[in-house]
Amino acid sequence: EVQLVESGGGLVQPGRSLRLSCVASGFTFDNYAMHWVRQVPGKGLEWVSGLSWNGDNIGYVDSVKGRFTISRDNGENSLHLQMNSLRPEDTAIYYCAKSSLIDLGAVFDYWGQGSLVTVSS
Amino acid sequence: QSVLTQPPSVSAAPGQKVTISCSGSSSNIGNNYVSWYQHLPGKAPKLLISENNRRPSGIPARFSGSKSGTAATLDITGVQTGDEADYYCGTWDSSLSAGPVFGGGTKLTVL
């Protein structure tokens, strides 16, 4: 059974940093690209960032470029999102999502339960 | 403002058929596969349809997808109370800021 478990969310002040993590199990982690998708409460889904199976191909939504960094540790079956210079508009539930592809694409076949990030003073 | 356009809400009585539309452009739906996701409150989103019309293992045949040009459709036949959820379409967008994009979501209410 595929499981994706996020951690690291919480309340943080504007301008500060937070690191999200996602531990994966139930599949061969280094065979698939992985992504972060967020949902502002009451709003729709928004892709945030993704990286290929080996981390060579990385993408970010424009609004987080230069502030967020995605990474993976295939030895630990984990995905991370380093979020710096956080803004109130980054407040959202952040989902870890598994791709059905080895490289970046737009099919997410498994999702975690999400981790809430609240940016507020 | 989402790149893909969905109706905010649809409704249907149990047993009826409901259709959810998703409209895009040549930079996204027109040249890429479409996926559909079901999102129940407090739960992880679930992939319902990939590659326009492929159902993953375990997804009932009541859910079907199609695509024509720059638009896609999700059909749910024999609607059940458990289908009440938010539904999102998604695809790849090949514009300047290339990456995955989603529709704004459609809330299905089962009457």
Report how far residue B2's alpha carbon sits from residue B22's, in angstroms, rounded to the nearest whole number.
11
Question: Residue B72: what pLDDT?
Answer: 98
Question: Residue B4: what pLDDT?
Answer: 97
User: Measured between CB atoms, which of A61, A105, A112 is closest to B44?
Assistant: A112
Walking along chain B (111 residues) 10 residues at a time, the average pLDDT comes out as: 94 97 97 97 94 97 98 98 97 92 97 93
- Percent with pLDDT over 90 in chain A: 95
Cα separations in angstroms, A99 against A106, A107, B97: 7, 6, 19
pLDDT band, residue A24 (cuts 50/70/90): very high
Question: Residue A27: what pLDDT?
Answer: 97
Question: Residue B97: what pLDDT?
Answer: 84
Residues near A54 by Cβ (< 8 Å), separated by ≥ 6?
A: A30, A74
Long-range contact set of residues B80-83: C-beta below 8 Å, sequence gap at least 24: B80/B14, B80/B110, B81/B14, B81/B110, B83/B38, B83/B108, B83/B110
Nearest CA in chain A to B47: A109
Nearest CA in chain B to A4: B44
Question: Residue B41: what pLDDT?
Answer: 84
Question: Residue B38: what pLDDT?
Answer: 98
- Residue B42 DSSP label: T
pLDDT band, residue A74 (cuts 50/70/90): very high
Size of interface A-B (CB pairs under 8 A): 70
